[in-house]
Amino acid sequence: MSLATFDLPSPREGALRRFSDLLLRRGHLIVLLLLAPPLIWLGLVYLGSLFVFLGQSIFSIDEFSGTIVREPTTATLLELFRPANFDILMRTVGIATAVTLLCAVIAFPIAYYAARYAGPRAKAAFYLAVMMPLWSSYLVKVYGWKLLLAKEGAISWFAGRLGLDGALDAWLSLPLVGGPSLSVSYTGMVLTFTYLWLPFMILPVQAALERVPASLIEAAGDLGAGPGYTFRSVILPLAMPGVVAGAVFTFSLTLGDYIVPQIIGTSALVLGQAVYTLQGTAGNIPLAAAFSLVPILVMALFLTLAKRTGAFDAM
């Protein structure tokens, strides 16, 4: 008896059919096909354009006409170490560090309250309060802060009302952090950045604190540790990965920003502005590319250190 006696429809021999058979036979092929679009995007469009840009740093620029001379040279990279350019690097890293530390100090108590004390309703309100600033436009917030920090703005008005204008003036007369008014000083710039990036610090810290088992804190108390000792030896080490995870955000965001320093601050350039000015306005793409390498290297170093603390488990 042959199969032909059963009246089965013969299998269709379309191209699609053969393709589907192929996929079935070779399982890894379908994985490859599914991954191809994102991989092409990441590899070619995203990383490709980044490397093409960074690769420009080995070129130099014709000094008068502003056209790029496509001959490999290390001159452009060495230019980063000229005092004025090196200042820009140190200034930016300094500001980013200050912003990160300030964010950590402010965020910790807030996150601690939200993680350990807030009830369900308070927690909902907390999330809303933390997220709300992120819903409004970045520029509106920055210009808002310019008005707050202005010489004739809200902060100095309040300081005057509270009889603290002497203290404000004393602060502004300090070298480095001072200046003619808050809005044209490093203090104002750090405050604005801190405001902008604070939510990115609070949320990971809170997540980390929620994972600290309450029993450990009770145990520390039972064993005779005072609140300060418990905090230092139990809570802080366990919450540290969260702080570092938050720091990755605040540090890298500050490192790359170029809008805030245009509106608030001392007029001295930061990294983002230097890149923006050099590639966007001066047409000096090689030097801009060289500058762009710096935050990548700084962040690579930062992330390597952060990984050691286990920060990525808390993300």
Partner 1 sequence: MRTHTRFLQLPALVACASLTMQPLVAAELKELGKGEGQVDIVAWAGYIERGETDKAYDWVTDFETKSGCKVNVKTAGTSDEMVALMNEGGFDLVTASGDASLRLIAGKKVAPINTKLIPSWGSVDDRLQSAPWHTVNGVHYGVPYQWGSNVLMYNTEAFKGEAPKSWNVVFEEQTLPDGKSNKGRIQAFDGPIYIADAALYLMAHKPELGIKDPYELTEAQYKAALDLLRQQRKIVQRYWHDAMIQVDDFTNEGVVASSSWPFQVNLLVSQKKPIASTIPAEGATGWADTTMMHVDAAHPNCAYMWMEHSIAPKVQGDLAAWFGSVPAVPAACKGSDLLGAEGCATNGAGNFEKTHFWRTPVAKCATQAEGCVPYYRWVSDYIAVLGGR
CB 199 within 8 A of CB 134: yes
Q: Does 279 bind partner 1 (CB under 8 A)?
A: yes
User: In this chain, which of 77, 101, 110, 153 binds partner 1, going by CB under 8 A?
Assistant: 153
User: In this chain, which of 267, 297, 304, 308 binds partner 1, going by CB under 8 A?
Assistant: 267
What is the smallest separation between the CB atom of 252 and partner 1, expressed in angstroms?
A: 23
Q: Does 67 bind partner 1 (CB under 8 A)?
A: yes
User: In this chain, which of 57, 76, 92, 183 binds partner 1, going by CB under 8 A?
Assistant: 183
User: In this chain, which of 38, 43, 48, 66 binds partner 1, going by CB under 8 A?
Assistant: 66
Question: Using CB atoms within 10 A of its CB, is residue 221 exposed (0-12), middle (13-18) or buried (19+)?
Answer: middle
What is the smallest separation between the CB atom of 75 and partner 1, expressed in angstroms?
A: 13
* Sole window of 200-208, 233-241, 250-258, 264-272 interacting with partner 1 (rule: CB under 8 A): 264-272
User: In this chain, which of 150, 243, 247, 294 binds partner 1, going by CB under 8 A?
Assistant: 150
* Sole window of 77-85, 123-131, 157-165, 291-299 interacting with partner 1 (rule: CB under 8 A): 77-85
Please name every residue paired with 60 in a beta bridge, in sequence order, or none if there are none: 69
What is the smallest separation between the CB atom of 57 and partner 1, expressed in angstroms?
A: 16
The count of chain residues that interact with partner 1, using the rule CB under 8 A, is 37
Q: Does 63 bind partner 1 (CB under 8 A)?
A: yes
Binding region for partner 1 (CB under 8 A): 61, 63-67, 82-85, 87-88, 91, 146-147, 150-153, 179-181, 183-184, 262-263, 266-269, 274, 277, 279-283
